[in-house]
Chains A and B, each alone.
Chain A
Amino acid sequence: MQYQYRNILLTKIVTAALVALIIAGCSFSDSSKSISNIVSSPIKSSSDSSKSEQSYESDVADYTATYIKSGGDTTKLKSGISKVAEKRGITDWEKDSATYQGLGQGFKRAGVKQVEVDAYKHTLTDTDEQASWIQQGYDAASKDN
């Protein structure tokens, strides 16, 4: 045992029974519905624009990797991206390079092969520029690995 907490533990276990009697369990989801939502703001503005860009890109990559690995229907991937983007304050995500770079990173992390990435480019993009952004993200993640 790294820390000697036995004495504290004994006291706390005795009181745990008392606590358990009045435990309401963990936090309820509606506990956050309060003035704190408006004071603390739904999105965090950052003086460093590249940081918020990276956070969004990272969200898209996390989502894409999880979605692909868990066998999600790729035709529905776009609607999931819409939700990820909206939480970051973005609605027209098709013109944001971070979206497609995040997709490319997510593909790499999910172990998608280049030939499959090429197929995704056809189904997920409307322009050559968007396809090139996916490739950039995929290549960047390959270097990181």
Chain B
Amino acid sequence: MLTLAFVSVSNRAMARPFDYLDIEAGSGASSGGHAAIRFGDDTYHFLNADPGIVRAVRVRSDKFDYDYRAYDNRGIDVTRVDVSDATYETLRMAFVRRVLVEDAQIDALDSARRDGKLLDWLAAHDSRATSSSLPTDPGVMLKGAGYFYGGSSHDASTTDTATNEWNIILQRTGAATMRDLREDIERNLGTDWLDRQTAELDRKLHGLRYTRAATPKFELNRVPDAGVEFADRYRDLLLARLALDVIATARPPVPGAFRTSTLPAFLLDAHEIQVMRTRAAHLRAGLQKLVTSSRRDRGFPLLVAMARLVAMDTSIALGRLVVPDTFEDIHDAITPGQLLANENAAAAVLAEKQNELARAKRAIVSATPDKEVRWTELELAANLYLEFERGFVSGALIRVEPSPVPTRAAALDPAWPHPDATPAVLVAWRDQARAVTDDIQEELARLYGYDLVSRNCVTEIFATIDDAFAQTTPPAEPEAAERAALGGRVDGERDFNFVPFISAAAVNQTYRVSERLQLPSYRHYWLDRMLRDNDSITTRLRESNTLTSRLYQRGEPDVFLFYTDDKPVLRPILGATNLLFGTGAAAAGLMTLPFDHGRLALGGLRGVLFSIPELAFVNIRKGSNAIVPRNWMTTPAFDATYTTAQRGDLSDAMQDTRHGPAMDDH
């Protein structure tokens, strides 16, 4: 049962469907289930987020499915609702608006927080406080500066880079690239242009002042007026200043901020090198325009473009692909140990990343050089592949927060230009910024404060649907318009509608539903395929428990024995067994406490907790996965023996990685 169509109602007058998604409960972050709404490639849902609010989020539909169905192992019930083109667009834009407005309001909060932190940091450094009392977080991330200025925490992951031959080439090439760029600018804009621009930026940085804005009043559907943005203006001015300084002084790149490898996937042939030359020439010409751009935030794209130019020139010099490191902080990293416990899945992911890099290399050859996104894809594919390869082969930490574009940040240096203000003034400004932060938090809580029953992931979907019609029809008629367009109105706060699966039933009863589908979880998808190949009692018994199942992944945070989501009748008995199993694991965990830092004990306790509902026929736990390939529906990553052909491919990929000349030059 891969996809079940329960009922199909043809309605030729209707044109486009949207989907209401009811996501099964899981033992992770949403034990009550979850809900979302899908418009084609985009899925919208509401998360419980800082600072205690429901936050509207837009996610690519394929990523949403991966996160919930593959990684969390949770099935999704889809209720498909047919509507006219106009209604579809009205609804879609209501969710777009909700995300954009809320994002802008949360940006205002983040901006105010940054103001407070930066002013605190500046005040402490200006008052020459003792180093132990200095605030460590200046609030400002100097994105892109980390490719030319050291001090980032990422350097902890590098190993003896100074002795690497390629790093010497990188620094020499990088400095030469910047000298060429400086000559181009002097030729086109004048020999004193860089000095004049630098002086102007210094004047602005020294003259920057904090002025408290009026207490903001946020509204639904209205982008807030710009806040103070002191820290953001400081960051933008400083990044532009640093970018010009890199050019003016031909500053060499930071060795640990770029990556390459001797793996075959990184080698460039003559044609690829020629493509790289063309792209580098195009980028160099584009930089001439970017330095004179009127964009307030031009410093960041300038630094990114310069880092890429250095990477391209070094790639040409080395004959192998060099890219800027696109990962963010090392603090968001995991040890590869638990992933390697699932060797087949790990190998499949590595092979997948290798294929993605090969595909991105092919795409860059056929793309015109003006398409930045093609280079971004190549850069990202190279980074993802290297991160896994390095983690799986050498055991290095795997960073899990890749950025779509290179954002490596530099730490703020107190010696860099900053506003001319006494410590007392800075402290007074800081206090004002903190007051603004408090005001904004109150506004956000008023509009979006999370409540289990009255404002959660379900209620906000129906509130947004109501709002869609309220915004587009006369004030007295939105409900009538909604009923006419959808077939009825669902009140998210009524009865038990705040519970996701009950809301799905309400949608099914109320709206003009054309189809109901069941999108299976990773486990059910592959179990179904196994049973189609060999539907035997042996297979069913083997896959019923975590000890013998091929689909089970070690590394699961909960300790349990039996899967109960597909056995409603036996659930209390199996749940009781799970309860005993979890209790035993928790007791054993006390013995292993000094060795595993409480991992087994905690897993046992979680196992007990999520076994209790099973005694009353309620299943929450599905058994999440530690690692699953992106193309999880076509790659049988759980078992190398499942598909012979696939096994051959995966083994080859591992061989190539483990025994090839695998030097990750980071």
Contacts and interface: CB of A to CB of B under 8 A. Distances in A.
A71 B223 contact: yes
Sort chain B's interface into a size bin.
Answer: 35 or more
B169 interface: no
Interface in A1-19: 1-3, 5, 8-9, 12-13, 15-16, 18-19
Nearest to B23: A27
A44 B62 contact: yes
A105 to B, nearest CB: 13
A101 to B, nearest CB: 14
A2 B54 CA distance: 32
Given A25-B48, A39-B628, A40-B66, A16 B499 contact: yes
A53 B373 CA distance: 9
A56 interface: yes
B613 interface: yes
B400 A37 contact: yes
B484 to A, nearest CB: 17
Sort chain A's interface into a size bin.
Answer: 35 or more
B30 A38 contact: no
A139 interface: no
A20 B629 contact: no
B257 interface: no
Contact of B376 (A23, A25, A43, A53): A43
Contacts, number: 245
B401 A87 contact: no
A138 B110 CA distance: 34
Tell me the dominant secondary structure on chain B's binding face: mixed
Contacts of A56: 373
Interface stretch (B153-161, B260-268, B294-302, B543-551): B294-302
Nearest to B29: A31
A76 interface: yes
Contact of B47 (A28, A66, A88, A95): A28
Contacts of B63: 40, 44
25 contacts: A16-B502, A20-B32, A22-B612, A23-B452, A25-B32, A25-B456, A26-B32, A26-B35, A26-B48, A27-B45, A29-B48, A35-B334, A35-B627, A37-B400, A38-B400, A39-B627, A41-B380, A41-B630, A43-B376, A45-B380, A69-B97, A79-B296, A89-B372, A91-B405, A92-B301
A-B interface, 4 closest residue pairs, ranked by CB to CB distance from nearest: A26-B457, A23-B32, A89-B376, A31-B29
Given A28-B49, A35-B626, 17 more contacts: A12-B501, A15-B616, A19-B613, A19-B618, A20-B499, A24-B31, A33-B332, A35-B627, A41-B384, A44-B62, A45-B380, A49-B374, A70-B222, A90-B376, A92-B304, A92-B305, A96-B370
